[in-house]
Amino acid sequence: MLGELTRLEDAVGRALIDETLAGKATDYLDQIMSLTTGIRETVLDMGRQIAGSGDDLSPRAQADSSVAALGDDVTLRLQTLTASPPRMAGG
């Protein structure tokens, strides 16, 4: 997943440079980059928390951890990332 996020960040970064040099608005690309960066940070945080839990991966320990909340955060960010851009949504 982190490899895919890196490729997405690279592609968005190149598009940001191209659009900026062409004098075009980059608001939508800025939002994609922010969401992608947020997803990366959240996934890394989830990994740290899971690694820190050691062998205690019982259902109760999982429910008590904030990993589930971080998973919800990633889901929300992915839903936002995959939403249609305003010009395609008719907005």
Domain ranges of the chain: 2-84
**Do residues 70 and 44 lie in contact, with contact meaning Cβ atoms separated by under 8 Å?**
no
pTM of the model: 0.68
Q: What is the pLDDT of residues 49-86, one digit of tens each?
A: 877 766 665 666 655 567 788 888 888 888 887 776 66
pLDDT at 13 exceeding the cut of 90: yes
Query: Tell me, what's the pLDDT at 79?
Result: 82
Angle between helices 67-81 and 27-52 (to 10 degrees): 160
